[in-house]
C-alpha cells in the first residue's frame, strides 16, 4: 500500500513538472513629444517659427517565451506656429520627386513616420512603412543641429523630407542587423503603382565600429523613375543615385562627424529661361558636411559647415550657384527635459539666381517629454 501511494505521488509530480508553464504577454508603450520653437532674424525681418515639433509613440507586443516582438511606430509633425519661412529641412513632410505631394504642408498635423515591424532579436529587425532610411544611417551623423544642416549630405532632397529614399523613406521595407562590429541595412521601396516597376528603389548601408567611440560608414540609394518624367524634365538623364561616406567620433565631451556625399540626377531647383518661364531643373552635385559638439557642464557648443557644389553646366541656372554655409550654435540645458538654443548660419554661397542668401540668427526653446510603460499579463486575461 505504501509503495502504491509513493508510486502515485511520483507520477503526479513528474506529470506536473513536465507540463509547460503558462505563457505571458509582454506589452510595451512609449509615448513622446518634442516641442520646438524659435525667434528668427533674417536681414531686417524677424518672426516666430515652429522648428519641427513632433509627437509620437511606439507600441510593442511579445510573449515572454519568445524573443520576437511585433511593434508599430507613429510620429506626427505639429505646426505650433504658422510662419512664412521654414528654415529646418527636417520639418518637411512633402513626398514624391519632381511631382510633389504637398497636401500635408499647411496642416497642423502631418505624418513624419508610420511603420510596422518585427524584431527577431539577434536575427535582425524588419520594418515596413515610412521610416528613417538606410541612407540616413550614414548621412544622419552630421544632421545634429537644432535648425540648420542636412542639405549638403543629400538627405532632404527635391524639396521633400527625403521620401525618395534618402531621408524618411516612404513605403519602404528595411532589414537591419548588427554582426560583430558591423551594422548593416538593406532597403527596398514600393512607392508607385503607375510606373510599370515592381520595385521603385533600393539601397543599403554598412557601418563599421573601429572602436566603441569611432565608426566608418557608407551608403547608397537609387530610385526608379518612370521614363516619361525623365524625358520631359530639364537635366534629367537617368534614375537618381545617391552615395555618401561618413566618419564619426564620440567620446566623453566631444563629438565630431563628417559626411561626403555625391548624387546624380538626385536634386532639383527652379530654372530661369526668361521672365515668364521657370521650369524644374534636375542637377548633379557633390557635398561635404562637418559637425562638431563640445559638452561643458550645462552647455553644448556646436559648429559645422555645409558645402555643396552643383554641376549645372548647360542648365538654365546661374553658374555661380553654390552652397557655403558656416553654422555656429550654443545650447543651455537647464534639465534633461528642456533647453535653450541659439544658432547662427553665415552664408557665403549663391542661390540659383546668383544672389547671396542672407545670414540667419535663431534663438529658441525645446522641450522633450517621454515615458516608457510596460505590462506583463497572462494570455487568458
Which residue(s) pair with 46 in the sheet? 41
If you ran DSSP here, which 8-state letter would residue 164 be given?
T
Could you tell me how many helices (H) and strands (E) the chain has, helices first?
3, 20
Q: Phi and psi of 88, rounded to 5°?
A: -95, 115
CATH (residue range 24-378): 2.40.160.10
Q: Are 228 and 98 in contact (CB under 8 A)?
A: no
CB atoms closer than 10 angstroms to residue 346: 13
pLDDT by residue for the chain (381 residues), tens only, comes to: 444 444 344 344 433 444 444 689 999 999 999 999 999 999 889 999 999 999 999 999 999 888 899 999 999 999 988 888 889 999 988 887 877 676 666 678 899 999 999 999 999 999 999 999 999 999 999 999 999 998 899 999 988 899 999 999 999 999 999 999 999 999 999 977 666 788 999 999 999 999 999 999 999 999 998 888 888 899 999 999 999 999 999 999 999 999 999 999 999 998 877 666 788 899 999 999 999 999 999 999 999 999 999 999 999 999 999 999 999 999 999 999 999 999 999 999 999 888 999 999 999 999 999 999 999 988 765
User: Given this model, what pLDDT does residue 261 score?
Assistant: 98
Rounded CA gap, 91 and 88, in Å? 6
* 3-state class (DSSP) for residue 158: coil
Domains of the chain: which residue ranges? 24-378
Rounded CA gap, 113 and 128, in Å? 11
* 3-state class (DSSP) for residue 224: coil
Contacts with 232 (C-beta within 8 Å, 6 or more apart), sequence order: none
User: Given this model, what pLDDT does residue 194 score?
Assistant: 63
User: Given this model, what pLDDT does residue 12 score?
Assistant: 43
Rounded CA gap, 34 and 53, in Å? 6
Which residue(s) pair with 303 in the sheet? 292, 328
178-to-115, 123, 138, 206, 245 alpha-carbon distances in Å: 21, 9, 15, 10, 19
pTM comes to: 0.90
Burial class (CB in 10 A: 0-12, 13-18, 19+), 334: exposed
User: Given this model, what pLDDT does residue 103 score?
Assistant: 63
Which residue(s) pair with 241 in the sheet? 222, 264
Rounded CA gap, 97 and 170, in Å? 12
* 3-state class (DSSP) for residue 236: coil
User: Given this model, what pLDDT does residue 19 score?
Assistant: 42
Which runs of consecutive H residues, i.e. helices, occur in the chain?
Answer: 2-18, 134-139, 227-231
Q: How many residues in total does the chain contain?
A: 381
User: Given this model, what pLDDT does residue 379 score?
Assistant: 75
CB atoms closer than 10 angstroms to residue 19: 8
* 3-state class (DSSP) for residue 244: strand
Amino acid at each position: 500500500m505504501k509503495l502504491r501511494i509513493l508510486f502515485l505521488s511520483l507520477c503526479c509530480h513528474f506529470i506536473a513538472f513536465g507540463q509547460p508553464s503558462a505563457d505571458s504577454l509582454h506589452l510595451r508603450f512609449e509615448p513622446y513629444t518634442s516641442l520646438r520653437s524659435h525667434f528668427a532674424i533674417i536681414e531686417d525681418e524677424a518672426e516666430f517659427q515652429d522648428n519641427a515639433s513632433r509627437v509620437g509613440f511606439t507600441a510593442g507586443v511579445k510573449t515572454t517565451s519568445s524573443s520576437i516582438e511585433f511593434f508599430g511606430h507613429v510620429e506626427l509633425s505639429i505646426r505650433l506656429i504658422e510662419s512664412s519661412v521654414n528654415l529646418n529641412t527636417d520639418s518637411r513632410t512633402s513626398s514624391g520627386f519632381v511631382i510633389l505631394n504637398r497636401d500635408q504642408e499647411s496642416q497642423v498635423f502631418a505624418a513624419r513616420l508610420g511603420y510596422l515591424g518585427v524584431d527577431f532579436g539577434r536575427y535582425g529587425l524588419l520594418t515596413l512603412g515610412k521610416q528613417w532610411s538606410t541612407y540616413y544611417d550614414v548621412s544622419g551623423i552630421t544632421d545634429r543641429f537644432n535648425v540648420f544642416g542636412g542639405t549638403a549630405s543629400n538627405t532632404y532632397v527635391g524639396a521633400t523630407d527625403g521620401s525618395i529614399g534618402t531621408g524618411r523613406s516612404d513605403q519602404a521595407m528595411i532589414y537591419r542587423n548588427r554582426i560583430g562590429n558591423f551594422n548593416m541595412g538593406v532597403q527596398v521601396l514600393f512607392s508607385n503603382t503607375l510606373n510599370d516597376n515592381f520595385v521603385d528603389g533600393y539601397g543599403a548601408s554598412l557601418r563599421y565600429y573601429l572602436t566603441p567611440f569611432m565608426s566608418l560608414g557608407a551608403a547608397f540609394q537609387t530610385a526608379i523613375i518612370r521614363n516619361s518624367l525623365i524625358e520631359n524634365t530639364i537635366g534629367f538623364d537617368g534614375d537618381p543615385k545617391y552615395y555618401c561616406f561618413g566618419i564619426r567620433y564620440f567620446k566623453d565631451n566631444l563629438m565630431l562627424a563628417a559626411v561626403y556625399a555625391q548624387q546624380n540626377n538626385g536634386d532639383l531647383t527652379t530654372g530661369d529661361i526668361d521672365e515668364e518661364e521657370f521650369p524644374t531643373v534636375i542637377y548633379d552635385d557633390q557635398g561635404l558636411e562637418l559637425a562638431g559638439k563640445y559638452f561643458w557642464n550645462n552647455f553644448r557648443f556646436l559648429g559645422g559647415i555645409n558645402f555643396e557644389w552643383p554641376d549645372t553646366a548647360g542648365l538654365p541656372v546661374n553658374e555661380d550657384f553654390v552652397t557655403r554655409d558656416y553654422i555656429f550654435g550654443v545650447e543651455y540645458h537647464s534639465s534633461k527635459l528642456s533647453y535653450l538654443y541659439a544658432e547662427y548660419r553665415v552664408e557665403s554661397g549663391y542661390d540659383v539666381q546668383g544672389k547671396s542668401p542672407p545670414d540667419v540668427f535663431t534663438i529658441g526653446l525645446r522641450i522633450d517629454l517621454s515615458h516608457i510603460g510596460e505590462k506583463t499579463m497572462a494570455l487568458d486575461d
